[in-house]
Chains A and B, each alone.
Chain A
Amino acid sequence: MDTAFLIESAIKVHIVLGFVLLGVPLIVWMERKVLGHMQDRIGPERVGPFGLLQTIADGIKLFMKEDLVPAQADKAVFILAPAITVVTALIATTVIPWGDTVTLFGRTIPLHIADVNVALLFVLATTSMGVFGVVLGGWASNSKYPLLGGLRSSAQMISYELAQGISLVSVVLLAGTLSLTQIARQQAHMWYVVPQFFGFAIYVISAIAETNRAPFDLPEAETELVAGFHTEYSSMKWAFYFLGEYANMMVVSGVAITVFLGGWNGPVLPPVVWFLIKLTAFLFFFIWLRATFPRLRYDQLMAFGWKVLLPASILNLVLTAIVVVL
């Protein structure tokens, strides 16, 4: 473990962290703009050019707000819960490759923070830890709507995690490796979305459920649960949940791009640019879905997850296995 490696890693950690933390306000701005135009409105436009600084202003406002902890809350867990959501999302970004290797000053530098040979499982493991943030937040608030929201989300996330994992395993069967870098490298000529279209569809649906986005945003269904698990949260703790949700969107998009959509591969433009283009397109897709679909009912959501998505993903896995063996 030489010094150059440590410096190189430290720089990459800062780049990724900065990208995620600065990217989240941009995504929020994009979401508000896109939703606005889809609903025949203009969206934010007052703060900065095209309203670009609106999210920054909102962030400052949240910083300034009074930080409330309910009297009956479990204080330690109440503070811990939003931190878990953000930290797990940030940890997962370490293994997502945003480009192949580059050579700088005679050193070959791979464009991801850590090359873990079980990277795909690493991402699944850290995102599965993210459930704790929501569940504990709901429990620690010691209030009925957050508790119901927390319970819903734990059931929802566990159910959809299964389908998500199994849809990724089908690609692992084709690729023969769990390393995200190698999976991306193999897609130089054909993206895995072509042979694994059903796997891709299952992954995208369960990823939306996993990140609690509309139409699967049952944990915070405002018409029935006020605001679900984060009803009692205010100020920066609430902003942390917000940050975690958008960072998670980046992670699941990054995994979808790397595993199914060819990673950084693309003609003419440099790899990093391709990755960013695909990331933006995927996030736009997330927002588009939110503007299009009404929220599901809770029993529909669970029935869909267990009776449709899980059997479909297992069937896809078995068929893929048969094809690979033949």
Chain B
Amino acid sequence: MLIPALLFAMFAGIAIGCSLGVIFHRNPVHCALMLVGVLLSVSGLFILLNASFLAALQVLVYAGAIMVLFLFVLMLLNLKGESPLLTRGAAKGFGILFAIVVFVELLWTVLSPQLEGGMATPPTVPTGFGSPAAIGRVLYTVWLYPFEITSILLLIAVIGAVVLAKRKFG
């Protein structure tokens, strides 16, 4: 039991530290790198939860592909000082609001099983849990409609990108 607990503490610690780094670093490229750190440590947490397929996809898609595109854009624009989207007061207000919402949500998730009599034993992991086959089966049966709608959403984004790129300016 000791080794998983230590690993959890390590990954969780890195995730929290990197998340703070994303917020507090001034340089956008450093922020993006910190975000990569968050994504990698979250994929470590996935492995601890027996979801190695999800962990591999997290690294492959988010850390490997999407973050490289982020970096690509940041490097092309070469942002030195970021221009704030909101005024300082508005940003503070939104920040406090979202922090309270997320905190209440987390508190509810943690406390609700306790209020309903408590979880005596954590649910057992079924065999093959988190394997590509199991995820594929669930994705194409139970969650078929959300899955297909997501694919249409992505297709719209692709078409939108092509339309924007092909537009003649001036």
B59 located at the interface, meaning its Cβ lies under 8 Å from any Cβ of chain A in the complex? yes
Number of A-B contacts (CB under 8 A): 69
Contact pick for B3, options A1, A117, A132, A157, CB 8 Å: A1
Q: How far is the CB of B51 from chain A (nearest CB, A)?
A: 10
A89 located at the interface, meaning its Cβ lies under 8 Å from any Cβ of chain B in the complex? no
* Contact residues in B for A279 (Cβ distance below 8 Å): none
Interface SS of A by simple majority: helix
- What class of interface size applies to chain A in its complex with B? 20 to 34
* Beta-carbon contact of A128 and B64 below 8 Å: yes
Contact pick for B60, options A125, A135, A157, CB 8 Å: A125
A288 located at the interface, meaning its Cβ lies under 8 Å from any Cβ of chain B in the complex? no
* Contact residues in A for B131 (Cβ distance below 8 Å): 117
* Beta-carbon contact of A129 and B59 below 8 Å: yes
* Contact residues in A for B75 (Cβ distance below 8 Å): 135, 138-139, 147, 150-151
Closest to A139 in B: B75
- What class of interface size applies to chain B in its complex with A? 20 to 34
B52 located at the interface, meaning its Cβ lies under 8 Å from any Cβ of chain A in the complex? yes
* Beta-carbon contact of A121 and B65 below 8 Å: no
* Beta-carbon contact of A125 and B3 below 8 Å: no
B8 located at the interface, meaning its Cβ lies under 8 Å from any Cβ of chain A in the complex? no
* Beta-carbon contact of B68 and A131 below 8 Å: yes
Contact pick for A158, options B68, B76, B132, CB 8 Å: B68
Q: How far is the CB of A183 from chain B (nearest CB, A)?
A: 14
* Beta-carbon contact of B72 and A125 below 8 Å: no
Chain A interfacial positions (CB closer than 8 Å to B): 1, 74, 77, 116-118, 121-122, 124-126, 128-129, 131-132, 135-136, 138-139, 147, 150-151, 154-155, 157-158, 161, 178
Name 15 A/B residue pairs within 8 A (Cβ), A-sorted: A77-B33, A116-B52, A118-B52, A125-B59, A125-B60, A128-B64, A129-B63, A132-B67, A132-B71, A135-B68, A135-B75, A136-B29, A147-B75, A151-B75, A158-B68
